[in-house]
A and B are shown apart, each in its own frame.
Chain A
């Protein structure tokens, strides 16, 4: 399929024009801001935004030595692990159940993919309305049952809520991948394991799960990236990082410091650090998957 470009298009003009919209979008919304962030991260502005001076790596050292940033970092690790863990395990469970059904599997697939089409902020509002202590159905039920539920006062409860809301949105995506992975496992391999004497649980852990592990690893990286960077909308709609700083993850802190506090230099430095993290995650993924996938 590797036809030379000249085979498909005569000249260079048409291909370039066809690529242009995508190149512009990538340039304007990714490369330019990324470049700006890197540039800004070396500058420090005065309080009124009238002048800025080059400060080298000072913004970075400031960020990395700030105990509240380090707390944020730890919180993000916890949050991301919890979101990825929850989203992956629930999706795997659902996929295994759906895989057992042959007839209605298309219906299940369609229904389970829906949450993915819901914008993070909308998903957040959905969960907010369910768990609001005064007007939320489950929030009221919890309080009525004697459990003091108020995510606006209790930081742990706030964290729990944003984790559930964030994971819920990602379950559908994971589900589709897991289901496809499960359906790619030949039936006869499972039958061979059954005849070899393996009970269902053992079959799952010694045959199914290892065969799913490339999928699972891919999803783990995708989910971690999602939890790190794409959950801003969820957190912003439910808790705005509060109460206190209980749900302030790194990405939310970039927003607070840069947009709320107008501290452009440190905010930019934080985004650059985040950028490096996502690059690292992606590299790990490519390296690992290339080496490890053998079936």
Chain B
């Protein structure tokens, strides 16, 4: 149980700046998901917290203790790796006991803790096996077990579900969340999968090119994305973006449509309007899509269409409601997001 404070952490590999000053305060027992496309620096940030990489500048504090210069061993954190990183020459029991043994626990204590963690993860029957005799899901559980037995201050997860098949991933995701709640251990979870991020995190850190684009709860990020990157990254299918220009306190879209969205901007200022596919309503008087592709998902259908000016628009509508080659959609004003076209920031 601990708090984590990341303050002004930057990282530079040679001439490449990977992290540009990350600040993050995690409260006790919170589950923070760091999400972003590959190469955004999310894994680097996690490894800096773990002590596997050193920050170029900035500091890390765990439970108010400055650990920036400490070795991983001295930070009292546990990490679950993407490829599980189990010790191949040890049995499951030995894998889980390794960290305890190094910390000089008594054999009875080790046995008790391993048994307890194994029970929690339902891997008691696997304790004498070696990693290569386990399936992907079982290895995942052992890796979790190895983290749990140590009773660390912090859990770090580095894309632990990405090597599992889709079905198992959903099960393990729920299990990780349940365990984390039950143990109440402060956790950082790195993933590139926005569904994983939305479902797991108490709060998300959406990272983009080495910066934290937004740090907020999943719903806050979904309903008030800080910029066009976050808006496009979170949500599936992605948000539609329509370029427009301010005109007499309203927005004139390239298609000619004038939308009375108020923004304190001068006429002629370029903006980007965002609207989620599920918020588009069927009806006339808005935009007309030339339908290109229908993706029926059952009760709903995802429509891919194009506007006159070539902009692609995706709408999620009830199945069976697409009349033909064209589809008229209207944009509910209260669901519109307005961003500055140049900076991409929310207005």
- What is A's interface to B at a CB cutoff of 8 Å? 186, 188-189, 191-199, 202, 206-207, 210-211, 294-295
Contact = CB atoms under 8 A, between A and B. Distances in A.
Contacts of B52: 191, 194-195
Contacts of B87: 189, 192-193, 207
Contacts of B89: 207, 210-211, 294-295
Given A197-B99, A198-B102, A192 B73 contact: no
A196 B98 contact: yes
B85 A295 contact: no
Interface stretch (B15-23, B76-84, B252-260): B76-84
B130 A198 contact: no
B94 to A, nearest CB: 10
Contacts of A294: 88-89, 130, 132
Contacts of A195: 50-52, 72-73, 77-79, 99
Given A207-B87, A294-B132, A295-B88, A194 B81 contact: no
B132 A295 contact: yes
Contacts, number: 67
Contacts of B88: 189, 211, 294-295
Contact of B102 (A186, A188, A189, A196): A196
Interface of B: 50-52, 71-73, 77-79, 81-83, 85-89, 98-99, 102-103, 130, 132, 146, 150
Given A294-B130, A294-B132, A295-B132, A194 B73 contact: yes
B102 A191 contact: no
A207 B99 CA distance: 12
A191 B130 contact: no
Nearest to A191: B52
Closest 8 CB pairs of A and B: A196-B99, A188-B85, A295-B88, A192-B85, A197-B73, A197-B102, A210-B89, A188-B81
Nearest to A295: B88
Given A211-B88, A211-B89, A295-B88, A197 B103 contact: yes
Contacts of A196: 73, 98-99, 102, 146, 150
Contacts of A199: 73
Nearest to A194: B72
Contacts of B71: 194
Give the interface SS of chain B, mostly helix, strand, loop or mixed: loop
Contact of B98 (A188, A191, A206): A206
23 contacts: A186-B85, A191-B50, A191-B72, A191-B85, A192-B79, A192-B86, A192-B87, A193-B98, A194-B52, A194-B71, A194-B72, A195-B51, A195-B79, A196-B73, A196-B99, A198-B98, A202-B102, A207-B87, A207-B89, A210-B89, A211-B88, A294-B89, A295-B130
A211 B79 CA distance: 21
A10 to B, nearest CB: 42
B117 to A, nearest CB: 14
A188 B86 CA distance: 9
Nearest to B158: A188
Contact of A191 (B81, B99, B132, B146): B81
Pick the most buried of B51, B72, B146, B150: most chain A CB atoms within 10 A of its CB. Answer: B72
A115 to B, nearest CB: 31
Nearest to A187: B85
A193 B81 CA distance: 12
Nearest to B152: A195
Given A189-B88, A194-B52, 7 more contacts: A188-B85, A192-B86, A195-B51, A195-B78, A198-B102, A199-B73, A294-B88
A110 B282 CA distance: 70
A209 to B, nearest CB: 10
Nearest to B143: A192
A213 B86 CA distance: 17
Nearest to B52: A191
A198 B73 CA distance: 7
A195 B132 CA distance: 22
Contacts of B77: 195
Pick the most buried of B71, B78, B88: most chain A CB atoms within 10 A of its CB. Answer: B88
A210 B91 CA distance: 13
Nearest to A199: B73
A216 to B, nearest CB: 13
A294 B130 CA distance: 9
A186 B52 CA distance: 14
B240 to A, nearest CB: 40
B151 to A, nearest CB: 13
Contacts of B86: 189, 192
Contacts of A189: 85-88
Contacts of B132: 294-295
